[in-house]
Amino acid sequence: MTEEQAREVMRTVLRPIAPEADLDSVVAGETLQEALDLDSIDFLQFVAGLAEVTRRDIPERDYAQLSTVEGCVDYLTTSH
C-alpha cells in the first residue's frame, strides 16, 4: 500500500465516524483524537474500520502507532 492509498483508507474509514474530519488539516505529530475531536469510542471504531478495510489484524498493542496521521500511514504501508 502506498502513502496516498493509506491516507485514502483513513479518509474512507473516518467519513462515517467524523464526517467533517479533514486529514489535511491535521498538524504533524498531533493526535487524531485531538485534531479531529474523536472520543475513545470513535478512535476504536476507526481502528476497527482500518482492520476491516485492510483485512489486517490490528492488535491492541499497536493502537498507539495509529494515533497520528504519520504513524497510521507508516503502519498501513509496512507489513506486520
DSSP H helix total and E strand total for the chain: 4, 0
Helix (H) or strand (E) holding 35: helix 32-36
- In tens digits, the chain (80 residues) has pLDDT values of 999 999 999 999 999 999 998 888 898 889 999 999 999 999 999 999 999 999 999 999 999 999 999 999 999 999 76
**Could you give all domains of the chain from N- to C-terminal order, each with its CATH number?**
3-77 (1.10.1200.10)
